[in-house]
Structure 1
């Protein structure tokens, strides 16, 4: 726990460092050469920090949805082995504080300065980064403060209903897109942009990709809006992220990749048992790019040809040293300086799902599915994709914990990799989402979104369920649905939190309340 405290202090110290268009006859949105002559440091210097803080760290990723989705497991029995990983909340506000302190706050300053200095595109860029941030935060908590963020006064700062929030984000994406397209040759972002080097064409591809991602979230709760927005993204001339060269990579700004630090420096995270079940069972060549083999052969007697061992989500853990010998992440993560924020493989899988749903412009489901797998293997530098794609026999394996049989589980999924046109749409969707899950290692929030909205991939329940009325009860046949509103808001903005709770399907601010788009409908079609 000392390491957790030191990490939080480091984040706080790190984070602390941190109009309108002129009238032109030919194009009212065109920026004049006069504006291009200005020094943009005042409005541009915050972007690398904002982009870095779009992603989380130990508390908000590794001990939450990384663990809940079985990507990673902790060998450490934090707080007597009763914590977020076992559905009793100890850490709630890390990502909330990160987004509001290190993205929303500096973006507000940029937007105001952009008006003052007559640099409107910087304001649009900041608004797009805001959408990236808030679309992640709402996937964790549900209602969030967005439309009313930064309002003055002593009254409550109201939360956005999720339905209103998504409509607002789509509207803002329209406005940002119009302005970026009107200034497609603009180069003012270049020295401040660690992701795309100021290339407006690539930011437009990302914008369409974000629209597509958000549209698919709503496919069950609001299918008409989902289809309209999804088809709009598919049809836009600017295109979507379609090659690995176009992947949206986020800067680490000289920091160590979080999952590497947690795994190697702290020994507080290891491979997840669910990843072991899928990747070993399906003979997935990416496993060596994600994780290291164990040195102790006695840990993998059930599959000695694949020397990888994971920890189950919400595991029964007595002593940390028992599972430190399990698989760490790949040593390659020690040297990376960027992390994946949005990839071409995710778009291919989104297109595969859209094709199943009959969206115009989505193409063929099988082609997109196989393209998604190929893009992911290429992105990670893994071999063997051709054999992998035609494998119609290998299936996820059951999991055995050599240290405690209470953590064992029988694989819930029986899928194979090879595409079969004769399968039902439901089974095809399971394959698509499972491969999307395997492709999005180190960028795992969307996998938790997909799981809640579709039920795929089929993952085991936590071994040890400590949920109780304090934070909400997750029944034995269910999984955690959200994080509650943060303590500072519960006390300092209580009336707004009370209203926001009524926006949730259950009317209760607890971990069992489904988000707006997380319907209880069993069938996806």
Structure 2
């Protein structure tokens, strides 16, 4: 009996001990994702990247009611805030700042720490590049921004010279790591733009460098040429074909301007688009916009059934202009947004050639290639006849829903599409930037930069100008130059905002020019 009892006790202890050894394993949820499984295929870092990329673009307030209107790409029929708002130069909305800091800068800081701890240098540099992509857009709004000291206290701003030098240095750093890891495949499942292709990202790096260099071409010509030629000569190349285009996935979401236009009825074709596209008989018009739904709106050009709204128009009721041209209904099915295209590269190279930058090629060849690539990208057919047109010019605009001359304008553009090699550089640049403006449709931040930097295209001024001493006064024959610093910064970071304002060289107002917006001749 004692032996039986002993055997029982030993057996019990053995079994219970074995059960205890496996207790944690047996009680784990087999569907639960643990830290180790997250590390497989870089899931612990990769999930940060798609949301950051998506938030390079904003929504209605950040785009449609801001730079889309200021650069005359799209206009609103809606009488927001009694008709006194951003579009009439009274600052009502100012939210792009929060999007960039909350959805790009903050998560980039988090994922960088993880990637550094795990020794994933390519992911570290990818986050750095995305920060440059976001912040080079935000500085186009405000000028000085918080960047090199982001996350530190106090949150101090960089002047624009410091900021652009930081951009160029960081592009160097990213390019060096990417060049050493061209066969790296770790980005693949998180990269809806290039499928993880490092050589494609390298082309984007060089192309963005060229874009930033051109921004500085008037304020710091030596630095601009140095960086521009560096971008042109880099062996990784530039975005030069439409298969190289950098597109941001919508990740299954709806194209925001489509929702704004068809869902809310808050945006329509601009009068400037009507004037320029109809005047030039531009085949891209049907890819950009739907015809107006009222065939009495365009008696002066019945062969082009499109109608736009003047930016800064005097509006009475939203319903008055809902029959004007909507954005193209084809945008319902798009899966991505254009961020950088081959057409932009060739327009940049055309301007670089005018400025004598080494390796930029011939200005006319690049101009015509830029237009041709734009037509191809938008599915508008051949650009050959269009490029040969040396007579058509933008038309004057009449608003049939307003009495008399209200909202009307006479086009200030007399330039034709066809290249004129005998013209001076200003006339050539006007052609380049006007075509670059057209191609920038749905991605208009850089078009707004170019317009302030060069004064091209020669767009109409606001009909209704509600600027005042609160946010700054824009002259009747002028344009809004920048967005003011956000109110939360003014209230909670006043000392740093005061220093940032001193960097501007003028007041924190909408009429103060940014560093690269020098005014005067372009050459």
Provide the rounded CA distance (Å) in 2 between the counterparts of 1:173 and 1:429: 27
Q: Give, in whole Å, the separation in 1 of the partners of 2:138 and 2:466.
A: 24
In the alignment, which residue of structure 2 is the partner of 1:328?
326
Pick from 183, 186, 195 the counterpart of residue 184 of structure 2. 186
Residue 251 of structure 1 and its aligned partner are, at CA, apart by 1.1
Q: Distance in 1 between matches of 2:140 and 2:73?
A: 18
Instruction: Name the residue aligned to 2:422.
Output: 422
**Counterpart in 2 of 1:518?**
517
Q: Is residue 100 from structure 1 mapped to residue 101 from structure 2 by the alignment?
A: yes
Deviation per residue, 1:43-100 (Å, 9 max, x gap): 11011111100012100100011111111110001000000000001001x2111100
Aligned residues: 483
Rounded to whole Å, the distance in 1 between the matches of 2:182 and 2:63 is 35
Q: TM-score, normalised by structure 2?
A: 0.92
Give the secondary structure class of the aligned counterpart of 1:176: helix
What's 1:115 paired with? Answer: 116
Deviations 1:179-235 (A, max 9, x none): 110111100000010100100000000000000000000000000000000000000
Which of 212, 215, 237 in structure 2 is aligned with 1:239? 237
Cα distance between partner residues in 2 of 1:123 and 1:256: 30
Shift of 1:519: 0.3
Q: In the alignment, does 2:502 pair up with 1:502? A: yes
- Which residue of the partner structure matches residue 23 of structure 2? none
Q: 2:474 corresponds to which residue?
A: 474
SS of equivalent residue, structure 2 residue 101: helix
Name the CA distance, whole Å, in 1 between partners of 2:394 and 2:231: 34
1:452-484 deviation per Cα after TM superposition (whole angstroms, max 9, x unaligned): 110101100011000000100001121000000
Give the corresponding residue for 1:79: 81
Three-state SS of the structure 2 residue aligned to 1:297 is: coil
CA distance in 1, matches of 2:292, 2:477: 32
Per-residue Cα deviation, 1:335-370 (whole angstroms, up to 9, x for no partner) = 111010100000000000000011000000000000
State the distance in 1 between where 2:164 and 2:217 align: 13
- SS of the aligned residue for 2:406 comes to helix
Map 1:32-431 → 2, pairs under 5 A: 38-92=40-94, 94-151=95-152, 153=153, 156-404=154-402, 405-431=405-431
Q: Distance in 1 between matches of 2:443 and 2:293?
A: 27
Superimposed CA distance per residue, residues 90-122 of structure 1 (whole angstroms, 9 cap, x where no aligned partner): 001x21111001000111111111111111110
> Residues of 2 paired with 1:336 and 1:203: CA distance?
22
Q: What is the CA distance between 1:38 and its match in structure 2?
A: 4.8
Which structure would you say has the larger Rg?
2
Report the secondary structure of 1:406's partner residue. coil
Q: Quote the Cα distance in structure 2 between the aligned partners of 1:483 and 1:55.
A: 17
Say which SS state the counterpart of residue 39 (structure 1) adopts.
helix
Q: Is the 8 A contact 2:430 2:456 kept in 1?
A: yes
| Matches of 2:461 and 2:309, distance apart in 1 | 13
Which residue is equivalent to 2:3? none
Q: Distance in 1 between the 2:241 and 2:129 partners? A: 21
Determine the C-alpha separation between the residues in 2 that align with 1:46 and 1:486.
Answer: 26
SS in 1 for 2:508: coil
DSSP 3-state at the match of 1:232: helix
| Conservation of the 8 A alpha-carbon contact between 2:84 and 2:466 | yes
How far apart in 1 are the matches of 2:386 and 2:102?
44
CA distance in 2, matches of 1:173, 1:294: 45
Three-state SS of the structure 1 residue aligned to 2:297 is helix
* RMSD of aligned alpha carbons: 0.8
Q: CA deviation at 1:290?
A: 0.2
Separation in 1 of the partners of 2:58 and 2:388?
Answer: 36
Partner Cα separation in structure 1 for residue 177 and residue 381 of structure 2: 42
SS in 2 for 1:339: strand
Matched position secondary structure for 2:240: coil
- Alpha-carbon distance in structure 1 between the residues aligned to 2:475 and 2:97: 26
Contact 1:257 1:336 in 2 (8 A): yes
Runs of 4 or more consecutive aligned structure 1 residues displaced over 4 Å after TM superposition:
none
Could you tell which deviates more after superposition, 396-405 or 360-369? 396-405
**1:260-311, Cα deviation, whole Å (9 max, x unpaired):** 0011000000000000000000000000000000131210011111010000
The more displaced of 39-48 and 356-365 is: 39-48
Separation in structure 2 between the aligned mates of residue 286 and residue 479 of structure 1, nearest angstrom = 26
Contact 2:284/2:380 (<8 A) preserved: yes
Structure 1 residue runs without a partner (length 5+): 1-36
Maintained 8 Å contact 2:372/2:382? no
Structure-2 separation of matches of 1:295 and 1:455: 33
User: Secondary structure of 2:248's partner?
Assistant: strand
Give, in whole Å, the separation in 1 of the partners of 2:424 and 2:415: 13
Give how far 1:384 is off.
4.2
Distance in 1 separating the partners of 2:297 and 2:324: 8
Instruction: Quote the Cα distance in structure 2 between the aligned partners of 1:295 and 1:320.
Output: 15
CA distance in 1 between counterparts of 2:122 and 2:347 reads 31
Contact 1:281–1:397 under 8 Å retained in 2: yes
TM norm structure 1: 0.91
Preserved CA contact (<8 Å) 1:285 1:384: no
Any unmatched runs of 5+ in structure 2? 1-38
